Amino acid sequence: MLIFDAHLDLSMNAIEWNRDLTRSIDEIRAREQGRTDKPDRGNGTVCLPEMRKGNVGICVATLIARYVKAGNPLPGYHSPEIAWAITQGQLAWYRAMEESGQMVQIRNSNELRKHVELWKNPPEQAPIGYILSLEGADSILTPGHLARVYEQGLRAVGPAHYGPGTYAQGTHATGGLGPRGRELLAEMDRLGMILDATHLSDDGFWEALDHFQGPVWASHNNCRALVSDTRQFTDEQIKALVARGAVRRYAANHARQLDWVS
């Protein structure tokens, strides 16, 4: 069975944690023993060989870099330009994985079908297919930068992450999108991108659904009825996503926008 993982921070793990994800999980953990610079050192759970063993042949792989203004206690970068540069560095890691045959980027429906066909009987070192997503849009300096990274293969954007963001309020923050957030959604609509509703504040969630016309998904959420925290979706939010039809509906009604999954 081919497994699709909807959210993996692969490049962040590789670059910020200095993990060689082409090695076995045992090797990665052993090399981190005794280190305390980050929480959970020595407890890594993902690498490309383990994904192959588990038949995880396709994933949504992220770029992520939070911009934090003065006074924001969350970890992050001190300018949007630094955040942009970090995501470009993360993209360079994915490109290096492509060049070495470890991964392959999926940008459209033809590439998706080709990759699924490969994984019906995958060779021992089959490349992991990845669909590029941006978790938190703080690194997007202008609409032109979004168009630029779309040309680099970005297909989904989550406007917010944790706390206050440039384009939307995220987990544990309050408030909606604001003018820049609505401008971002309009450019995403123009480009035919996917909105990832994960991490949006409650107000931002509803405002985003009202303003965005394209396909929507929620890549990594739980139910607030089971996990009592605003990080998770209420029953009403889940019903709104179901009513929206998510990927399947827009594949039928907006073929250009969702060509890569149609």
Question: What does pTM read for this prediction?
Answer: 0.92
pLDDT band at 247 (very low <50, low <70, confident <90, very high): low
Question: pLDDT tens digits for 72-92?
Answer: 999 999 999 999 999 999 999
Q: 178-191 and 143-151 are packed helices; what angle lies between their axes, rounded to 10 degrees?
A: 30
Do 199 and 161 contact (CB within 8 A), yes or no?
A: yes
Question: pLDDT tens digits for 113-135?
Answer: 999 999 999 999 999 999 999 99
- Return d(Cα 115, Cα 119) in angstroms, integer: 6
Using the predicted structure, report yes or no on whether residue 161 has a pLDDT greater than 70: yes
R_g (Cα) of the chain, nearest Å: 18
Domain ranges of the chain: 51-261
Please give the CATH superfamily to which domain 51-261 belongs. Metal-dependent hydrolases (3.20.20.140)
Question: pLDDT tens digits for 202-229?
Answer: 999 999 999 999 999 999 989 999 999 9
Do 113 and 58 contact (CB within 8 A), yes or no?
A: no
